[in-house]
Structure 1
């Protein structure tokens, strides 16, 4: 598997290297590689069964946040087609927890139910079509943003032709693709000066997955610094109202998408499921696994519940440091900080599924950082956990994955402190 994975990355690299200016050919290749999966059922992820379940429940008029698949199946009165098959597919673990997928994701699931309410393959095909359309949007706005930033437009193909993206998102049906589309669209709109529409797009991205909420503090200097990257009375007077308006529109957009589902029971169920991710689940972690090992040496048991409460606070602290102590005025500077911020969150997380890396990967396209591309290659090592029927992580493989990533990250940070970065060049030219 690793050999095949390496071959795919080599082919991707050579395609981009040999055809740097033939973007039509590269774009068509990216589309054809995705269409290859159109009639396939994913075999590296079970999540799509839950997506189908939620969408069909919505189609039948039920709030998917208020009930458990295992209860419907146990009672034998599930109001949707193929209920038992879907439950078997998603597994007992997934079926015993309330859904935590936000409303825009639920809308995608509803669309699949609308077109294929009795076919699992048909639902998968609708999902895949939506994800491919999202990637087309990433290509369109990503290419325009690269051009606006005076960066090589071919860099968008490090996302579009990345085998990891094609297999994990299009192949395994993960809706990070839709979230990434809204993030890239928001950044493009912000760069063009349409900050209000950028806020709406960013709000939609939050309503696909909650992760983009982490980016909100990082926009502070983008709105409040003047052209000389310093504070003055005028920049604060003009910038702060815009910043507050930007935050307000993002949060109001998120609220509007959640509004049809809101209730006391919804808040209880949603909070309960989100808490599980921080305090119960473990997979492909880096710093947390070191903390867990130290915990075993000191107290003799798994400290995930305590670490799951502390590490988010550490993440927030790092984000605030990045907000106030890094230059985030220009778009490349801001996106570079977003890369570091989201990766800090993942480095401190207890659970890092491979498809999560789609966000830092697409952001890195607009920066000098390339370690997310290396990470997208090395993350295949986490799948060695599935070599065991009972699912057992090989910590040597996980360790190797993160050693590779941290070495490249360390080298790039060192290199960027020793040389003039594209961010600085663009900033200087903009000022002049």
Structure 2
């Protein structure tokens, strides 16, 4: 099983084009089966499972990501940071016209980003930018060098997740082998290690912070939680949920620690234009882009067919409602659910994040990685099912116009929602 998994991962890393959807699904399906069997047969042998996970990641070490173009922007931003240029103040297109600023491989990076990214300001938080800068410095002005450095950081983060994840599982009286449903998950390997998405770094700080919370060291947990937010903004969603867990007084101090730490990391990048540029770029993700959406696609179909709504107007209007819907759900879970123990808190986080992804207009496969990690600390497993089905969304890359197959997306979400409802029903019956 381990050898066959290596062959499949090697093929995905070095002998695969993202337009070959059938090959992707075939290899991914095979890896899902092999992952299941590995954890099933070797769950009492954590050293073997850990070694297997590290080996699978090392296979990707010198490969160029083939399912995502984002890493070109990472390298661009990192090059700016390494030259003490604020990446939040200029778009790549603006800098390309500035002859005084020299960006190694500038044209290759711009071309690699695609059409959209060069037009917009960077939307990656400050700690992520510092990691990009470190990769640019250690990478020796080489695209491959930067890729290798970033990949090593992501691999190290996943190893950290295993270390603190096992400790956290033990403190919750759960089997520590459950962490390998994350560590050996093909989606995690392909999207984080393979395609260089920094959700793994965010999740490392997130799990590390929760581990300190489980030990009642909420002061240090607050600092580390801020690191998680400063890598990816998503953990911001969960901040109100700490009110019941920590109590009003401690939670207030916790929020002050988180806020102060974030401000310290933002300070080197601050400029009068920073907030405007950053917020405008973030806003685009809610109202301009669409990929692998569920509820949005359903409501759009109803709006277009029954109310004669224009698609481009509908996505803007829908995007403006998302923040209000998500805030409402977060507040409901904050004030109407007793998040007084860590298990309940983690389950609330799972539901809040699930709702956010269900209503979002853009759900890239790597977004599911947070759910995959959260779910192993709860009694629910629908996120693992979703991690196996979300690969179907890559059908869009198999055609030059990036047209999604709504039938495949419907199948993906029908299975996920059905299994989720089944689990909810089962858990209620147990109670």
2:284 maps to what in 1? 276
2:85 maps to what in 1? 62
1:290 maps to what in 2? 298
Moved more, 194-203 or 125-134: 194-203
Give the aligned length.
405
2:426 maps to what in 1? 415
Question: Taking structure 1 as reference, are residues 70 and 117 closer, same or farther at Cα in structure 2, changes over 3 Å only?
Answer: farther
What SS does the corresponding residue of 2:197 show, helix, strand or coil?
coil
Q: Determine which of 11, 30, 46 is the counterpart of 2:69.
A: 46
- 8 Å Cα contact 2:139/2:148 also seen in 1: no
Q: TM-score, normalised by structure 1?
A: 0.92
- 8 Å Cα contact 1:65/1:99 also seen in 2: yes
- 8 Å Cα contact 1:81/1:117 also seen in 2: no
1:385 maps to what in 2? 396
For structure 2, the 5+ residue unaligned runs are 1-23
- 1:71 positional shift: 2.0
Distance 1:300 1:245 in 2: 47
- 2:332 aligned with 1:321: yes
Distance 1:206 1:75 in 2: 32
Distance 1:292 1:197 in 2: 45
Q: Write the deviation string for residues 393-430 of structure 1: whole angstroms up to 9, x where unpaired.
A: 1111111111111111111111111104xxxxxxxxxx
Equivalent residue runs for 1:247-266 within 5 Å: 247-266=255-274
Q: Write the deviation string for residues 56-77 of structure 1: whole angstroms up to 9, x where unpaired.
A: 1111111010111112224555
- 2:152 aligned with 1:144: no
- 2:106 aligned with 1:83: yes
Distance 1:350 1:255 in 2: 29
Question: Taking structure 1 as reference, are residues 78 and 292 closer, same or farther at Cα in structure 2, changes over 3 Å only?
Answer: farther
Q: Write the deviation string for residues 352-374 of structure 1: whole angstroms up to 9, x where unpaired.
A: 11101111110111111111111
Distance 2:300 2:263 in 1: 36
Q: Write the deviation string for residues 192-215 of structure 1: whole angstroms up to 9, x where unpaired.
A: 100111111111111001111000
Equivalent residue runs for 1:8-407 within 5 Å: 8-75=31-98, 78-224=101-247, 240-297=248-305, 298-302=307-311, 303-407=314-418
Distance 1:255 1:417 in 2: 42
Q: Write the deviation string for residues 32-85 of structure 1: whole angstroms up to 9, x where unpaired.
A: 000000000001000000000000111111101011111222455542211111
Distance 2:257 2:80 in 1: 30
Moved more, 187-196 or 296-305: 296-305
Distance 1:73 1:244 in 2: 45
- 8 Å Cα contact 1:279/1:309 also seen in 2: yes
2:7 maps to what in 1? none
Distance 1:90 1:104 in 2: 21
Distance 1:61 1:3 in 2: 45
Q: TM-score, normalised by structure 2?
A: 0.92
Distance 1:180 1:41 in 2: 23
- 8 Å Cα contact 1:60/1:79 also seen in 2: no
- 1:117 positional shift: 3.7
RMSD of aligned Cα (Å): 1.1
Distance 1:76 1:34 in 2: 39
Q: Write the deviation string for residues 128-170 of structure 1: whole angstroms up to 9, x where unpaired.
A: 0000000011000000011111101110000000010001000
Distance 1:301 1:74 in 2: 36
Q: Write the deviation string for residues 368-388 of structure 1: whole angstroms up to 9, x where unpaired.
A: 111111110000010001111
Moved more, 346-355 or 317-326: 317-326
Moved more, 159-168 or 248-257: 248-257
Distance 2:99 2:417 in 1: 50
- 8 Å Cα contact 1:60/1:80 also seen in 2: no
For structure 1, the 5+ residue unaligned runs are 225-239, 421-432
